[in-house]
Amino acid sequence: MTGTNTSSSVRARRGKAASSQPPLRKQDDEALPEAAAARKAELAERLRKKRAAGRKLVTYLSCLVIILAATALALTFKSSSGPSPSPSRPDSPTPSPLSVGADADPAVRVFSQAELAAGDGSDPDAPLLLGILGRVYDVSTGARHYAKDGAYSFFTGRDGSAAFVTGDFTTAGLTDDLTGLSDDDIMGIAEWLDTYERQYVRVGVVEGAFYTATGMPTPALTHDVAAAVARAAAAKAAEQDLRTRFPGCNIRRSAGQKGEIWCENMSGGINRDYVGVIRQFYDKVSGSKRCVCVRNDLLDDPRLQLYPSCPDQATHCWID
C-alpha cells in the first residue's frame, strides 16, 4: 500500500512540474533551426579568422627563419674566412710604400715574444694571435683555420712573415727574418698585411725585428721593407706599362707542326685601336724573349727583333 501511494505521489509532482513550464509554441519550434544556423555561421567565421591568423603567423615565422638563416650563413662565412698560405697573393691593391709601419703608435700594446706565443691556441680561453711584419692581429674569428689542428695554426703565436711567401712552414721557416727575400717577395708580405688589416682587429705590435720594446718601428721596417715595397711597386708599374706598350701575340702550337703566331686588337689582353706587326721582344734583365705586337712608330726600339720566318709587316705567320 505504501509503495502504491509513493508512486502516485511522484507522478503527481512530475505532472505539476510539467504543467508549470510554458507550452512550446510553434514559432519557438521554427526558430530553433535558424538559431542553430546562426551559431554554425558564427563558429565558421571564428574558425576562418583563426586559420587566417595562423597563416599569417606561419608566413612571419618562415620569413624570420629565412632571415636568421641568411644572417647565420653570412656570419659563418665571415668568421671562417682566412687567407690561404699558398704562393698566390691576395686580391688586394698594391700597398703604399709608406703604409708599412708609418702609422705606428708608441701607445699601442707591445707584446713580448712569450705573450704572442700564448696566443697559439693552446689555451682555449685565450685569443688567437698572429704576427706579420711586427703587427699583431686577433684572428679568433677565424678559429676554424687558426686554432689548434686548423689548416693555418702554424701562423698563430708568432710572427712568421717570411713563410707567407716562401711556403716554408717549418719552425725555421716561420720567421720574421726577411734576409734573402726579393723585393717582390717583400711586397707579397705587405699585401698579406693589408689583407689582415682589413679582415681582423689589430691589437698591438710585437717586439722583434720590426718594433722595439717601446713600440717604435725599427729601420728594418721603415727603411728596408718600405724601400723594397717601393722598388717592387715601381717595377710592377713599369712591367705593366711595358706590356701595354708592347702587347703579346696570340700563339698556337701543335705537336709535330709549326707554331702559329698572330696579332689582333685584343691580343695580349690589351684592348687597343691598332693590330700591330709581329716582333720578338728581348728582355735584357731576365734574358727572356716573347712575341709582341708593335705599332709602326715603335719599331725602332732596340729590344725588338724580327722573326726569321716572318715578313717585316706580318700580322700572322708560322714559326719553327
pLDDT of 127 strictly over 90 = yes
Total number of domains constituting the chain: 3
DSSP H helices in the chain: 2-20, 26-80, 113-117, 143-146, 163-166, 183-199, 219, 226-245
Residue 12 located in a structural domain? no
Residue 23 located in a structural domain? no
State pLDDT tens for residues 73-104: 333 333 344 454 444 455 444 444 334 544 55
Look at the alpha carbons of 23, 28, 32, 33 in this order and tell me if their dihedral is positive or negative: positive
pLDDT at 283: 86
Domain residue limits at 285: 246-319
Last residue of a domain, one of 241, 268, 297: 241
pTM over 0.75? The answer is no
Residue 77 located in a structural domain? yes
Q: Report d(CA 58, CA 300) in Å as an integer.
A: 76
Query: Of 45-59, 61-75, 81-95, 243-257, which one has max mean pLDDT?
Result: 243-257
Residue 189 located in a structural domain? yes
Q: Evaluate whether 130 touches 155 at the Cβ level (below 8 Å).
A: yes
Q: Report d(CA 44, CA 223) in Å as an integer.
A: 84
Residue 196 located in a structural domain? yes
Place 48 in a pLDDT band, splitting at 50, 70 and 90.
low
Last residue of a domain, one of 241, 264, 297: 241
Q: Which run of H or of E encompasses 129?
A: strand 129-132
Same domain, 262 and 292: yes
What are the residues facing 291 on neighbouring strands? 280
CATH number at residue 175: 3.10.120.10
Residue 26 located in a structural domain? no
pLDDT of 313 strictly over 90 = yes
